[in-house]
């Protein structure tokens, strides 16, 4: 069951990503981007990371893609360049076959190298069932990854203040001149 779902989500994600890159219409590209990201959230669910999956959907569907769409629509910049000329059916089929070959051979080599060690981590289904994925994420953010977490939050704060300064600068100048 899981493997079918993996190929379903993964396949749609790959198709959506390709469609995003090769689409003429910027709004359609943004919508395909969202499709890809939602499918990747599905992959996160398959990996038992529901919190990350929902956070991904919330951040991208709720904010980022909506803002991308907003800007594209506001500027009226829907139509970009058309499909490049080197992209013919023959070339794309060749690239696809090369990728398939690379994947198959790479998997074979990987299996041959690591076939004896089973891949396990500390976060198993049993651990998630006992502690819950939110608690696990929170705990590792505030213990193991505290420094990167705080750095990221400072970076975001700087970004927010920067936006306010850039956006409000003209207003401040205007006020100073006016009063």
Q: Which residues contact another protein by CB under 8 A?
A: 27-28, 31, 34, 50-51, 54-55, 57-58, 61-63, 65-67, 69-70, 73-74, 131-135, 139
Nearer CB in complex with another protein: 58/94:
58
Contact of 24 with 81, CB cutoff 8 Å: yes
Nearer to another protein, 22 or 51 (CB): 51
* 41-49 long-range contacts, CB within 8 A, separation 24+: 42/5, 42/9, 43/6, 43/9, 43/10, 43/13, 46/2, 46/5, 46/6, 46/9, 48/123, 48/125, 48/128, 48/133, 49/133
Minimum distance from residue 37 beta carbon to another protein (Å):
12
Residue 31 CA: distances (Å) to CA of 74, 132, 148: 16, 32, 31
Min separation Cβ 3 and another protein, Å: 17
What are the φ and ψ backbone dihedral angles of 94, each rounded to 5 degrees?
-65, -45
Q: Which is nearer to another protein, 62 or 106 (CB)?
A: 62
Phi, psi of 81 (to 5 degrees): -70, 155
Our CB check for another protein shows the closer of 13 and 35 to be: 35
Least Å distance, CB 34 to another protein, is: 7
Q: Are 92 and 18 in contact (CB under 8 A)?
A: no
List phi, psi (to 5°) of 166: -60, -45
Q: Closest approach of Cβ 171 to another protein, in Å?
A: 14
* CB nearer another protein, residue 20 or residue 50: 50
Q: State how far the Cα of 32 lies from the Cα of 20, in Å rounded to an integer.
A: 5
């Amino acid at each position: 069951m899981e493997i079918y779902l993996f190929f379903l989500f993964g396949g749609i994600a790959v198709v959506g990503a390709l469609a995003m890159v090769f689409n003429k219409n910027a709004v359609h590209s943004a919508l395909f981007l969202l499709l890809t990201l939602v499918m990747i959230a599905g992959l996160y669910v398959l990996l038992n990371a529901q919190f990350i999956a929902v956070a991904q959907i919330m951040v991208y569907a709720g904010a980022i893609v909506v803002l991308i769409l907003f800007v594209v629509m506001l500027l009226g910049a829907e139509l970009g360049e058309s499909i490049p000329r080197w992209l013919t059916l023959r070339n794309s089929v060749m690239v696809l076959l090369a990728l398939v070959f690379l994947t198959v051979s790479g998997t074979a080599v990987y299996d041959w190298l690591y076939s004896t060690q089973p891949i396990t981590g500390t976060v198993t289904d049993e651990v998630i069932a006992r502690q819950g994925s939110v608690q696990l994420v929170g705990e590792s953010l505030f213990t193991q990854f505290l420094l990167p977490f705080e750095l990221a939050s400072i970076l975001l704060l700087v970004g927010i203040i920067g936006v306010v300064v850039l956006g409000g600068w003209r207003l401040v100048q205007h006020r100073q001149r006016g009063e």
